[in-house]
Structure 1
Amino acid sequence: MSAKHFINDPTHLVTSALRSLTLTNPSIALDVDNKIIYRRPSPNATQQVSLISGGGSGHEPSFAGMVGQGMLSAAVAGSIFASPSAEQIRAAITSRVDTSKGVLVIVMNYTGDVLNFGMAVEKAKAAGLAVEMVVVGDDVGVGRAKAGKVGRRGIAGTVLVHKITGALAALGKPLDEVATLARLTAANLVSVGASLEHVHVPGRNVDTEGGLELGEVEVGMGIHNEPGSERSKLELPELVSKMLVQLLDPNDKDRAFVNFTSNETVLMINNLGGVSVLELGGITAEVVSQLEAKHGIRPVRTLSGTYMTSLNGLGFSISLLQVIPHKLDAPGVVELLDASAEVVGWSAPIQTSTWEAKNTATLTDSTGTSHETKSSGLKVDAAGAQSALKNALDRVIAAEPDVTRYDTVVGDGDCGIGLKRGAEAILKHLSEHPFTGDIVVDLAAIVTVVENNMDGTSGALFAIFLNALVHALSGLAPGTASPEVWAKALKQSSDALSKYTPARPGDRTLVDALYPFVEVLGQTGDVKQAAEAAKKAAYETKGMQASLGRSVYVGGSGYQEVPDPGAWGIACFFLGLSD
């Protein structure tokens, strides 16, 4: 195993990956010698034009993942980032698909692919087979001037050609019509990619030169690490804006390959392999927003997912398809795009009826989600209580670097930031809504702030505890919130919290500091003594092995070096309160 890959043998990797497809889709088979994935023959299958595509491996799920009912009939795989041989392709055309209604070969515009697929097509024609070939070049990252005679590279938009023509072929349409629609689709298609880094190919030495600087993005990078139009340090909004201009600006004579005048446009956001699903969602939202705001385009279909990768490329591509009405006796392009396809690489499960409903209804009724807390009659000195709370929150914020350092050793490093975020949100709330003197009303308002700004396990624990505290104080109203009242309410809150978490003192959690504070306050009525007890207990968690929380999974000896982050954070709060 290398530092970059679990499988560093490229030959074994390609073969095993192809074999895996037959395990996840029982309708397809593998010709190991020729690296061909093809649809298994079936006595119930309807004769149709066969669709074949392929190219270098490393772009999964393209192309082999697009083989199945409704899309490709077969796909031919080369080595990583290298075209399959003409003989492999010839074998696919002549012996792995049904040729009775003809064969359409769809290939991306790369020299090796065009030459090898072209040679195989000519051999098949010479053997008397009806074969057509369509070359897809949708990339605008490299303009006309630089591309020269080679023309546009083929990238992720090719998948849309596969899907649309695959649906048409499944309807039994003749070869000339399927080929015509493939060319029409390709002619109205533009794509551009961007990446934060080059990818490493299994089996090759790691090249430490020529990579992008930290924070730099390459606009127009190809799917084999080929250079694009520029390298810049751009935030996502500026990057998306630049990419959309390259796709859509009719005045850019170097890149204006399609004049978008149609009322219907299809958008595809493609993950190049290394972008998280979460981040791809954020990218998609940015693209859609800018398309409408800056270019007046509201896509009739928005597809977002992983369709054509560059191994684990840390980037994405944007494809736009202008929907042009065809003159064929067949469904429209969008309907063909919506048609079902039984392939592992196509992810667009939204039905046509759902798209066409254009449902914009939302639920806006907030009944039951919030309510105004009634006056309880349990009084505190508003100014004094607010001052004490502010001091405690300031103490938590000041402790954030220490808490973060502790949590980096024994957890995932977010405890300090979470506490700080909650403290800052409460301080902001207090500046806008000063205490009224009714502690139940005031505390109930703070609970909402905590719930909305503190997430994770600690956020849930604080929210449960504070909600229980509001309930307990309400039961002790009216009157004055003396230390004795607080002690009783805090004890009830602790008991309520214990119903939802098994954490007890000795488990190395925030409870280690919380419980001593509540206990000593109940015994003495002295906040200062209670805070010191919490501090002592928090410090004693150093060396205590965790029984609960993320520290259990982290392992190592870090627990011997630092106290529990949550316990220390809440102890700092109590110390600030006592000051």
Structure 2
Amino acid sequence: MASKHFHNDPNHLVVAALRSLTKINPSVAVDEKHKIVYLKKPKSNQVSVISGGGSGHEPAFAAYVGHGMLSGAVAGSIFASPSTVQIYQCLMRRVDNTQGVMVIVMNYTGDALHFGMAVEKCRAQGIKIDMLVVGDDVGVGRAKSGRLGRRGIAGTVLVHKIACALAATGASLDAVSNVANLVSSNLVTVGASLAHVHLPGRALARDDFNADDDIELGMGIHNEEGCRRLKTGLPGLVKEMLAQLLDTTDKDRAYVDIKPGEPTVLLINNLGGVSGLEFGCITDEVCSQLKNSYSLQPVRILTGTFMSSLNGLGFSVSLLRLVDTGLESQISMLKLLDAPAQATGWSAAVQPSTWVDKVEDRQQPNEEAIGEFQSSNLTFNTSRAIKALESGLVGLISAEPEITKYDTMVGDGDCGLCLKAGAEAVLAHIKKDRMSSDVAQFVSQIAYIVESSMDGTSGAIYAIFLNSLAYSLSLQETPTLSRVTAEVWSNALKGALKSLGKYTPAQPGDRTLVDALQPFVEKMVETQDVVMAVAAARKGCESTRGMEASLGRSVYVGGDDWKNCPDPGAAGLVEFLSGLISGL
């Protein structure tokens, strides 16, 4: 649970967040006293749709105010419903109620009571008004929720979007209300979270998420308990979530019967604290299991933060079964969902036509053709070379924790894992595939594996150097087969180092891999003795202890850790070379 915030006054946070919307969407205004965001100039002759609830669920609800979406939204304090007075002010003074008003809120007691009271007051004033309380959550089943019913969570946004798009067509209040209810009754959502959230301005409460691997299945968006806690990975969690949404044999939660192949809309909602990288993995897992386990391929997939729980470390999955709206002119749920909206919180970047068009992937080239290598007529003892190479790679893999520790101190922590990934890929290749006895081809094969498996700066440097080394070896081609010599290796290494210099300005003294690589090459050229060359590389690596960086990410690192460890890239090269000569 994150307990630090940039601003800790919850009242100021809410008003400032509402005020910010007027700066990024010129069509909306804010009534700060009553915490209402509303359209400045609503389109005439259409039903107004309003919503609202506690703050902390941004972009819901205020960021959904805009043409094609909500006419107004009323905000309460963090996780607390707005008052009847606030809501009544919105209904009577801030939205156009001449054609009627549709009120859509989530099923929480405070929201239902306060919005309901305001609705009744408006109805007594002669306003045509209707109200829908959405309950889409299946995390808490019928037995536990009882007469209170399902909670409203992220799927409510789909009800907003479709109802608002219909209102924008000029449809009657009855039509808007009927379709909103139809969407709600075909909608299911379930969420999961790794931790409770902390409210700004409140004391840190004891969190009973004691184990690092605890996952709360069905957790509500106000820190409410779900149905149970799990200890599982992402595939297991998604399997449980989809079962709660789709298993019709679970009578406690079988609210909507979605059959294989039926058209559906999938909404995967970030509760606010999941990184984009991890959220992409979640999306992929959900889509894969829907297809493989339930034969469902949604016609629209919406992902992002639609209804947060502050910075909640969790996500929810919503499924909407698309059914006939019964409206004339073939106004379908999908068409209404696709309709444009000018609300800052709504995002549907992919055009509807893109979902319909069948775009074929272009033909990819043959990977084997990419990996063809030039020969040199220079040969060597392949089995001895493989033995030495294996020794170097195993040494590098074993050194990963130490290299990672160094890079955590002076960089971004990825150097050791990057080197390990490349080493493991090369090791796997030489164990299962036949290696060429031609020296240039042998090095080219290694270079190809490195550039295919290693990313980051280290991957680029090694790939450039090895490809240049293979090319330098091929330039020394002999008319007949002959054994490669130490002199040939030395000249080729010199050429490869020169080529590398075209792509990086690194020199000894900059605290980089080059601090070990250049001494190695220079000593090989001078002595043609690989043992002496490795000793020179080790000396160059040790010289980086206490050396202030001039290039690489270490330049940006503060503190004094860099004074106590060598450059991680240089250390990795020395580990590989040391293992290499021990295997000769």
TM-score, normalised with respect to structure 2: 0.96
Contact 2:376–2:475 (CA<8 Å) still a contact in 1?
no
The structure 1 residue matched to 2:45, chosen from 39, 44, 47, is 47
SS in 1 for 2:162: helix
Q: Give the 3-state SS of the residue equivalent to 2:76 in structure 1.
A: strand
Q: Distance in 1 between matches of 2:371 and 2:246?
A: 49
Distance between the aligned counterparts of 1:29 and 1:432, measured in 2?
Answer: 67
Counterpart amino acid of 1:283? I
Corresponding residue number in structure 2 for 1:22: 22
Once the two structures are superposed, the pairs formed by residues 137-536 of structure 1 within 5 Å of their partners are: 137-261=135-259, 263-330=262-329, 331-366=331-366, 370-478=370-478, 479-536=482-539
Matched, 1:566 2:569: yes
SS at structure 2 position matched to 1:335: helix
Q: Partner letter of residue 296 of structure 1?
A: S
- Partner of 1:72 in structure 2? 70
Distance 2:3 2:284 in 1: 34
The answer to whether the Cα contact below 8 Å between 1:108 and 1:136 also exists between their aligned partners in 2 is yes
AA partner of residue 398 (structure 1): S
Residue pair 2:425, 2:449 contacting (<8 A) in 1 also = yes
1:19 offset after TM fit, Å?
1.0
| C-alpha distance in 2 between matches for 1:529 and 1:423 | 24
Aligned residues: 576
**How far does residue 369 in structure 1 lie from its aligned partner after superposition?**
7.1
How far is 1:3 from its partner? 5.0
Structure 1 residue runs of 4+, over 6 Å off? none
Shift of 1:84: 0.3
**2:35 matched to 1:35?**
yes
Q: Secondary structure at the match of 1:243?
A: helix
Aligned twin of 1:113 = 111
Name the structure 1 match of 2:59: 61
Distance 1:402 1:368, change over 3 A: closer
SS, match of residue 270 in structure 1: strand
2:130 aligned to which of 129, 132, 156: 132
CA RMSD of aligned residues (A): 1.5
CA contact (8 A) 2:3 2:204 kept: no
- Counterpart-to-counterpart distance in 2, 1:427 and 1:209: 46
Shift of 1:480: 3.1
**Structure 1 contact 48–101 (Cα < 8 Å) conserved:** yes
Name the SS of the counterpart of 1:304 in structure 2: strand
Task: State the Cα deviation string for residues 286-345 of structure 1 (Å, max 9, x = none).
Answer: 111111211121111111111001111111001011111011125100011111111111
Cα pair 2:375 2:474 within 8 Å, conserved: no
Q: Deviations over 1:35-85 (max 9, x none)?
A: 11111116xx34311110000000000101111011101110000000000
CA distance in 1, matches of 2:179, 2:132: 10
Separation in 2 of the partners of 1:425 and 1:51? 58
The 3-state SS of whatever aligns with 1:266 is strand
Q: Which moved more, 1:360-369 or 1:453-462?
A: 360-369
Separation of aligned partners in 1, 2:16 and 2:405: 43
Q: Secondary structure at the match of 1:61?
A: coil
State the percentage of identical aligned residues.
56
Match in the other structure for 2:581: 578
Q: Cα offset for 1:380?
A: 1.5
| CA displacement 1:421-478 (0-9 Å, x = unmatched) | 2112111111112432101111111111101111101111111111111111111112
Following the alignment from structure 2 to structure 1, what is the Cα–Cα distance between the partners of residues 552 and 192? 39
- Could you tell me which amino acid in structure 2 is paired with residue 406 of structure 1? Y
Corresponding residue SS for 1:128: coil
Return closer, same or farther for 1:66/1:550 CA change in 2, 3 Å cut-off.
same
Superposition deviation, residue 360 in structure 1: 4.6
Contact (CA 8 Å) 1:54, 1:77: kept in 2 or not? Answer: yes
- Say if 1:53 and 1:106, in contact at 8 Å, map to a contact too: yes
Measure the CA separation in 2 of the matches of 1:132 and 1:3: 40
How far apart, CA to CA, are the structure 1 residues paired with 2:368 and 2:337? 42
CA–CA distance in structure 2, aligned partners of residues 344 and 541 of structure 1: 50
The structural deviation recorded for 1:212 is 4.7
Structure 1 residues 212, 341: closer, same or farther in 2, change over 3 A? Answer: farther
* 1:508 counterpart letter in structure 2: R
* Aligned-partner SS, 2:191: strand
Contact map agreement 1:198 1:212 (CA 8 A) in 2 = no
CA contact (8 A) 2:545 2:567 kept: yes
Q: Which residue of 2 aligns with 1:9?
A: 9
Identify the match of residue 543 of structure 1 among 528, 541, 546: 546
Deviation, structure 1 residue 178: 0.6
- Residues 511-546 of structure 1, C-alpha deviation per residue, up to 9 Å, x if partnerless? 000000000100111111111000011011101011
Q: How many angstroms apart in 2 are the aligned matches of 1:317 and 1:326?
A: 26
Distance 1:549 1:16 in 2: 40
Q: 1:212 to 1:71 in 2, by over 3 A?
A: farther
CA contact (8 A) 1:47 1:98 kept: no
1:80-95 alignment runs, 5 A limit: 80-95=78-93
Q: Distance in 2 between matches of 1:504 and 1:546?
A: 11
Structure 1 349/217 Cα, relative in aligned 2: closer, same or farther at 3 Å?
same
Distance 1:452 1:56, change over 3 A: same
CA distance in 1, matches of 2:51, 2:574: 64
Q: Deviations over 1:151-186 (max 9, x none)?
A: 000000000001101111111111110111000000
Structure 1 CA distance for aligned equivalents of residues 280 and 362 of structure 2: 21
State whether residues 190 and 247 of structure 1, in contact with CA within 8 Å, keep that contact through their aligned partners in structure 2: yes
Report the Cα distance in structure 1 between the residues aligned to 2:359 and 2:140, rounded to whole angstroms: 39
Letter in 2 for 1:562: C
Aligned equivalents of 2:467, 2:525: Cα separation in 1: 20
Of 390-399 and 63-72, the range deviating more from structure 2: 390-399
Check whether the contact 1:190–1:321 (CA below 8 A) recurs between aligned residues: yes
Distance 1:310 1:209 in 2: 16
Counterparts of 1:248 and 1:436, CA distance in 2: 55
Task: Give 1:367 deviation, angstroms.
Answer: 7.7
CA contact (8 A) 1:49 1:99 kept: yes
8 A Cα contact 1:55 1:82, kept in partner: yes
Judging changes above 3 Å, is the alpha-carbon distance between structure 1 residues 398 and 209 closer, same or farther for their aligned structure 2 residues?
Answer: closer
1:114 CA displacement: 0.4
Distance in 2 (CA, whole Å) between partners of 1:360 and 1:249 is: 34
Go from structure 1 to structure 2 and tell me whether the alpha carbon gap of 1:537 and 1:348 turns closer, same or farther (over 3 Å shift). Answer: same
Between the aligned partners of 1:105 and 1:3, the Cα distance in structure 2 is 35
Preserved CA contact (<8 Å) 1:246 1:252: yes
